[in-house]
Amino acid sequence: MTDSVKIMPESDVHKTRGPHVVVLAYDGLCTFEFGIAYEVFGLSRPEMGESWYRFSVAGVEPGPLRAAGGLTVAVDRGLELLDEADLIIAPGWRSIDAPVPEPLIASLRTAHERGARVMSLCSGVAVLAAAGLLAGRRATTHWRYVASIAERYPDIALDAHVLYVDEGTILTAAGSAAGIDLCLHVVRGDFGPDAANSVARRLVVPPHREGGQAQFIAAPVPEEREGIRLGPLIEWMRERLSEEQPISLLAGRAGMSMRTFQRRFEAATGDSVGEWLLKERLRHARDLLEKELAVSLDDIAIASGFGTLATMRHHFRRRLGTSPSAYRKSFGL
C-alpha cells in the first residue's frame, strides 16, 4: 500500500513575490533531492519578508506519480509552470540512463533561452544533459554517474571531484547532500550571506562549503587482475600505510622486476603505485579523523604515512580542498 502526498506551493499562500522556483516532479521522483529543494526554497520563512522565493511544483507527466519510499504524488500543474520560472530545479532523475521526455526538453530549452536559471541535483544532471544545456560547459554530478554521462555526452566538461558548479544560468550539484550546498549558494547569491546562514541554521548544516571542495569519495576496490600475486600484496600495503613502501620492496614481494610490477600494478588498480598509496593514506586519515576524535592531528599524520602534519595538510588541501581540522569538524561530530 502506498501513501498519497499532494504537493502544494506553500510559499504562494504567504504571498511572497521573490524569484519563482519551480521544481520538477516525475514518475520515480527522488524524494531526498526534492526535499532539499523544498526545504530551502519552499518553506515559509516570514523572517525573510515578502521578497523571499515563490515555490511551485511542475508535474512532468500526468499524475498520480510514484515516488521513492512508496509514496504517490499529486501535482496541481504541469510543464506550463516553466514559462513562469526564474529558477528550475531537476531534483535527481529516475535513472541516470532513463530517457527524458521531449516535452520536458523543449520546455527547459525555451525557459533557459528566455533567461531562467536551470539547476540539477545529483542524477538530475541527466535531464540537463539530454536538453543540451550542458554542451561545452563545465558540470558535475555524483561521482558514480560521471562515466555514464561522459560516455553519452562527451562535449560536457565533467568534474567528478567538486561539490557543485555554477556556470551562471546553469548550475549542477554532485551527490545528494551536495544539493544543500548548491541551494545555499544560490540563496547567498540572491539574498546575501545572512539569509544563507539563517537557512543553514534551520537545516543544522554548515553555512558555506565552497563548490570547489572535493566530494569525499570512498576508494574503489581495485580490479585485481593479477589475482593471487597482487591481491595479497595490496592488502599487505594497506596494513602498513604508516611505513615507507619503496617500489623495489614491493616488486620484490610480488616476484617481479620493478618495471613489470609498476605496469601490472597500474593495470590492476588504475593508478601508479605512488598515486594509489596517496589515495589510501588520505582515506585512512579521513577514517581516523572521523572515528578517533581524541587522537591528535600529528599522530594521525604519522599513522597514515604522511610523516608530518604539514605534509598531510598539503595533500588534504590539494586533493580534498579542505584541511584535516576542517574535515574533522565537519565529519567528526
> Which pLDDT belongs to residue 144?
87
> Which pLDDT belongs to residue 227?
46
What does 292-310 look like in DSSP terms, one character per residue?
Answer: -TTS-HHHHHHHTT--SHH
What are the pLDDT tens digits along the chain (333 aa)? 456 555 554 444 447 889 999 999 999 999 999 999 999 999 989 889 999 999 999 999 987 898 888 888 888 799 999 999 999 999 999 999 999 999 999 999 999 999 999 999 999 999 999 999 999 999 999 988 998 999 999 999 998 888 899 999 999 999 878 899 999 999 988 998 888 888 988 887 766 565 555 666 554 444 434 445 687 888 899 899 999 999 999 999 989 999 999 998 888 777 899 999 998 999 899 889 888 888 999 999 999 999 999 999 999 998 888 899 988 887 544
Q: Which three cell numbers stand for residue 21?
A: 522556483
d(Cα 128, Cα 151) in Å, to the nearest integer? 15
DSSP 77: B
> Which pLDDT belongs to residue 294?
84
> Which pLDDT belongs to residue 296?
94
Q: Torsions phi, psi of 205, nearest 5?
A: -135, 160
Q: Which three cell numbers stand for residue 235?
A: 592488502
Q: Match 509552470 to its residue by C-alpha cell.
A: 81
> Which pLDDT belongs to residue 235?
84
82 neighbors 116 (Cβ within 8 angstroms): yes
Neighbour count for residue 106 (Cβ, 10 Å): 13
Neighbour count for residue 313 (Cβ, 10 Å): 17
Of 68, 54, 72, residue with least CA distance to 18? 54
Q: Which three cell numbers stand for residue 174?
A: 554532485
> Which pLDDT belongs to residue 12?
45
* Rounded (to 5) percent helix, strand, coil in the chain: 45, 15, 40
d(Cα 39, Cα 183) in Å, to the nearest integer? 10
